[in-house]
Structure 1
Amino acid sequence: MSKSKRLMELMMTVNRMRKFTVRELADQFDVSSRTILRDLQELSELGVPLYSEVGPHGGYQVLKERILPPIAFSEEEAVAMFFASHALRHYLFLPFEAESSTALQKFYYYMPGDVRDRIDQMKNRVDFLTHTRRQKAESLGVLLDAAVDQRVVTVEYETKDGYTERSLQPVGIYASNGFWYCPAYCFLREDFRLFRCDRMQTVVYDTTGVEPRDHRHIHLGNWREYGAEKSVYTRMVVDLSREGVQRCESELCPVPHVDMQPDGSGRLDQSVPVSEILYFAKFFLGLGNEATVKEPQELVDCMKGILKKVMAKYD
């Protein structure tokens, strides 16, 4: 095996093993321990973060910030990957903001010149727009790590009545219409709730001893189902124009099921939590004549109440 091929396979091997001894690698690659030591030194100089431990149980360990092995992309794949990352620039806050920026710079820098020229020409021809919000969401990384590691965080959360401190176990985070949201199990309410990340003033790992729950089976796609037993639901029926259908599908999350008509209009018919009546009232009022709420009556009454207060401002 050539040295360059051995170094490439060695890089992939140590990334996979994470912890190993020189003897293990020497036996696997059928070379001497001295050769493996030289190879590890070269990998370290190339940027693979290796850490050595001495003693009877020592060896080498790859740090958490390990370098991934090279991956071969076709030209079209490389362009697609670039613009997938490039689209994230519209978000002022990301859970991996610095990393996405440096990764994009590396990706662009090491491309062949003709591929860079093509990307430069495409930048003004394709984009993925999203709402630019001024609200801060500085704790996305902590929330995402807590969701992955099944940890509890203490959050100072802004509500309409002021600030409240809560212990939360995040399910994950997602972006919608320029805002970041975090579904989480709230130990105060003993149920799942949806939180706006920009309303979290502080987010720190819990130090009070709150035991995390085993929520490994709960994720962004199904978390609402696990709060259904404690939530009261009602049927919501709304007739939508073509534009109303488009607004609902682009702005509501999760995306609702709409029975479509040939002309593009449709009817939304689904169960929603009673606790979200106010949210839907404000949303459908924002659609104006593009939406007509049929039921429930509580939603219609809520919309009338909001309109009455607005009208009172201009009497």
Structure 2
Amino acid sequence: MSKAKRLMELIITVNRKRRFTVKELADEFHVSTRTILRDLQELSELGVPLYSEVGPHGGYRILQERLLPPIAFTEREAAAVFFAVQALRHYSSLPFEMETSAVLNKFYSYMPEDVRGRIDQMRDRVDFITPVRQAQSPYLSVLLDAAIGQVVLLVEYATRQQRGQREIQPIGIYTREGLWYCLAYCYLRKSFRVFRCDRFESAVPSDSPPLDLHEVHLGNKEELTRLEGDSVYLYAELSQEGVEACEADPCPVPGLHVRHDGTGCLEGYVAREDLSYFASYFVGLGKHAAVLQPPELRAGIRQLLSELMAQYTEEQS
């Protein structure tokens, strides 16, 4: 085995083992302990975070931060990764903000000069337009780690109407139209809810035991459409233009169904407290949407339209 190949496999091995002795590695790679010591020294110089432990049970262990083995990219693959990360640059908050910047710098710095030139040309000709938002979401990493680790969080959450503490168990975070959202189980409402991430004013681990939600994730969140607690069933018919508008500006109602002729409908369970938002949403769709359920939403739309009529029929002074 060549030295270069041995070093690459050694990186994979120490990442997997986490704790090992020189003799163990020497036996596994069929080389002398002196050779392994030299290899470990080279790995350390390359940035692999190794820590030496002395004593009868000593050896080496790798620190918490892991390094991936070297990966060979083609020019187009490297450009694809660069622009995948570049697509996030319009967001004011990211879960891995510093790491994202580091990835871009590494890719750009280590590319040949001609490849950097091509990327510079493409950067001015390819963009991923996202609405620029001033809202900051400083707890994205906390929410994501809690979702992965099945941790209950005690959060301070503020809406336009009220501010208060509640316990939530995050399922995942996602972005839409430049804003970040967190799907979570809310212990206050005893149901799944979607929270605006920029409205979290604090988020710390709670002592409450978590629910077993390992099988619940963003990929199957539509199965959670029937909210427990104070929720209502929403159904709206859509014209072809209404379907296109809902696809361009997604509505939080989970079920968008499109028929063969291009028309469709929206249906799903929504929180009663969100009906004022949905009234504004459907007024924006105009004649291209007809809400049939619930009656409270229809009444809210009529009230909003009456207020708009009054605003535009008054005599201008």
TM-score, length-normalised on structure 1? 0.90
1:287 aligns with 2:279: no
1:172-231 Cα distance to aligned partner (Å, 9 max, x none)? 11101111001111222222211111001111222xx21112211111122453473625
Q: Give the whole-Å Cα distance in 1 for the aligned partners of 2:238 and 2:243.
A: 9
Give the C-alpha shift of residue 82 in structure 1. 1.0
Give the C-alpha shift of residue 312 in structure 1. 4.3
Q: Give the whole-Å Cα distance in 2 for the aligned partners of 1:274 and 1:213.
A: 22
Give the C-alpha shift of residue 6 in structure 1. 1.4
**Relative to structure 1, is the Cα distance of residues 254 and 301 closer, same or farther in structure 2, using a 3 angstrom cutoff?**
closer
Aligned length: 310
What are the residue-to-residue correspondences of 1:114-129 with 2, within 5 Å?
A: 114-129=114-129
Which residue type is aligned with residue 270 of structure 1?
E
Structure 2 equivalent of residue 203 of structure 1: 203
Structure 1 equivalent of residue 238 of structure 2: 239
Structure 2 equivalent of residue 214 of structure 1: 212
Structure 1: segments with no counterpart, 5+ residues: none
TM-align CA RMSD: 2.2
Q: Give the whole-Å Cα distance in 1 for the aligned partners of 2:308 and 2:142.
A: 40
Structure 2 equivalent of residue 70 of structure 1: 70
1:255-310 Cα distance to aligned partner (Å, 9 max, x none)? 64332455xx4221423335243332221112234433344443222111122234
Give the C-alpha shift of residue 129 in structure 1. 0.9
Q: Give the whole-Å Cα distance in 2 for the aligned partners of 1:58 and 1:173.
A: 42
TM-score, length-normalised on structure 2? 0.89
Structure 2 equivalent of residue 273 of structure 1: 270
Structure 1 equivalent of residue 257 of structure 2: 258
Structure 1 equivalent of residue 185 of structure 2: 185
Aligned sequence identity (%): 52
1:309 aligns with 2:276: no
What are the residue-to-residue correspondences of 1:81-92 with 2, within 5 Å?
A: 81-92=81-92
Matched-pair contact (CA < 8 Å) for 2:172–2:184? yes
**Relative to structure 1, is the Cα distance of residues 64 and 240 closer, same or farther in structure 2, using a 3 angstrom cutoff?**
farther
Q: Give the whole-Å Cα distance in 1 for the aligned partners of 2:139 and 2:271.
A: 30
Q: Give the whole-Å Cα distance in 2 for the aligned partners of 1:141 and 1:195.
A: 15
- Which region of structure 1 is more displaced relative to structure 2, 219-228 or 188-197? 219-228
SS in 1 for 2:87: helix
Structure 2: segments with no counterpart, 5+ residues: none
- Which region of structure 1 is more displaced relative to structure 2, 245-254 or 280-289? 245-254
SS in 1 for 2:88: helix
- Which region of structure 1 is more displaced relative to structure 2, 156-165 or 191-200? 156-165
Give the C-alpha shift of residue 44 in structure 1. 0.8
Structure 2 equivalent of residue 31 of structure 1: 31
